[in-house]
Amino acid sequence: MIHTSKDSEASPKRRFTIVTDTFPPDVNGVAMTLKHLCARLAARGHAIEVVYPRAQTSVAISGVRFREVRGIPLPG
């Protein structure tokens, strides 16, 4: 939960790097949750970077820097 009190608005800005194997355009609970988390943290002025495997299409969230990396399949 993200609080919106005056105290939390005065908190120092932070830098976050999220490394994940799923992010939109994937459609699943984890990808959608990370998308909303990144958008809300960026809206609060935090610096966000997401590292995830290369996807077919790009995602754009204002204030979020994306770094796509080459993914490799793992034997199942």
pLDDT digits (tens, 9 = 90+) for 61-74: 888 998 888 888 77
Per-residue pLDDT tens over the stretch 12-44: 899 999 999 888 888 899 999 999 999 999 999
For residue 23, count CB atoms less than 10 angstroms from its CB and return exposed for 0-12, middle for 13-18, buried for 19 or more: buried
At 9, the pLDDT band (50, 70, 90 cuts) reads low
Rounded distance between C-alpha atoms, residue 63 and residue 60, angstroms: 9
